[in-house]
Amino acid sequence: MELAEGVLLLIAFCSAVLAGQYSSGGGKQHVYVTSKAADKKEDVWCYQCETMDIDDPCVNMMENRTSMIRKCPDTDRICSVKRITYTTLLDNGTLVTRMWSLVRNCTQRCDAGCIVMGERTKLHACTACCETSLCNIMTGGATPPRPRAPPPPTLLALAAAVAAAAAAVGVGVAAGAGGCWAFV
C-alpha cells in the first residue's frame, strides 16, 4: 500500500466514524471498501488431516481440533472429506465394517457421493463436499451443518486494522471524540 492509498483509507474510515455510519453497537453499519478489497474473495479454511486409525483425532471432530485448521490456496475453495471403509460378510452372516482411511482437506473440485464395489467384501468410497470455512466436520457422505456467519468487526478491531495499515506506510493515526487525525 502506498502512502496516498493509506491516507485515503484513513480519511474514508474517519469520515464514516465521524458521520456515525459505522459503530461498534447495534444499528446499520457501513464500511468503505476499496475496489481491490471488493475483488478479493473471502479466505476459505478447512480441517486438514488424514488417518488410517479409527481412534485418531481426525476421525472424531466433536472436540476442539484447531491444530488441523489450514488456510486453503485461492485455487482450492472447497472443503472435503473422503472416507474409505470396507464391509465383510462373515460365514455366520454377520457384517463387519472397518475404516480403511479418512482424509479431510481443501480441493479445487469435489464430487460428493459414494461408490460401492464388491460382493462378499464391499468397499465404500464416500466423499462429502462443502464450500464454507471449517465445514468439513462430517464423517464423509453426510450433509454438513451450515455454520453461522462471523459477526461484523467491532469499531475497535477496524480502527486497529486501519492503524496497522497506516503505520506500514509511515502514517500516524489519532482518533478521539473530537475527531480523527492523520500525520506523517
User: Do residue 115 and residue 173 come from a single domain?
Assistant: no
pLDDT tens sequence across 110-145? 999 999 999 888 999 999 999 999 999 988 743 333
pLDDT tens sequence across 36-64? 555 567 899 999 999 999 989 999 887 77
Please give the mean pLDDT across all residues of the chain: 73
Are 4 and 39 in contact by the 8 Å Cβ rule? The answer is no
Residue 40 maps to a domain = no
pLDDT of residue 10: 46
Q: At what angle do helices 155-168 and 3-18 cross, to 10 degrees?
A: 160
Q: Is the pLDDT of residue 29 over 50?
A: no
pLDDT of residue 14: 46
| CA dist., res. 151 & res. 144, Å (int) | 21
Chain centroid to CA 143: 17
The answer to which of 53-67, 77-91, 122-136, 167-181 has the lowest mean pLDDT is 167-181
Residue 116 maps to a domain = yes
Confidence of residue 31 (pLDDT cuts 50, 70, 90): low
User: Do residue 11 and residue 70 come from a single domain?
Assistant: no
- Indicate whether this model's pTM tops 0.75: no
Residue 140 maps to a domain = no
| CA dist., res. 73 & res. 78, Å (int) | 10
Residues in the chain: 184
HEC letters along 118-177? CCCEEEEEEEEEECCCCCCCCCCCCCCCCCCCCCCCCHHHHHHHHHHHHHHCCCEEEEEC
Q: What's the structural domain count of the chain?
A: 2
Please give the residue range of the domain that contains residue 59. Answer: 45-130
Higher-pLDDT residue of 183 and 143 is 183
pLDDT of residue 37: 54
User: Do residue 23 and residue 55 come from a single domain?
Assistant: no
Residue 141 maps to a domain = no
User: Do residue 177 and residue 113 come from a single domain?
Assistant: no
Are 5 and 162 in contact by the 8 Å Cβ rule? The answer is no
Residue 101 maps to a domain = yes
What nine digits make up the cell of 44? 476459505
| CA dist., res. 29 & res. 141, Å (int) | 39
User: Do residue 56 and residue 114 come from a single domain?
Assistant: yes
User: Do residue 61 and residue 124 come from a single domain?
Assistant: yes
Residue 68 maps to a domain = yes
Confidence of residue 166 (pLDDT cuts 50, 70, 90): low
User: Do residue 177 and residue 119 come from a single domain?
Assistant: no
User: Do residue 25 and residue 61 come from a single domain?
Assistant: no
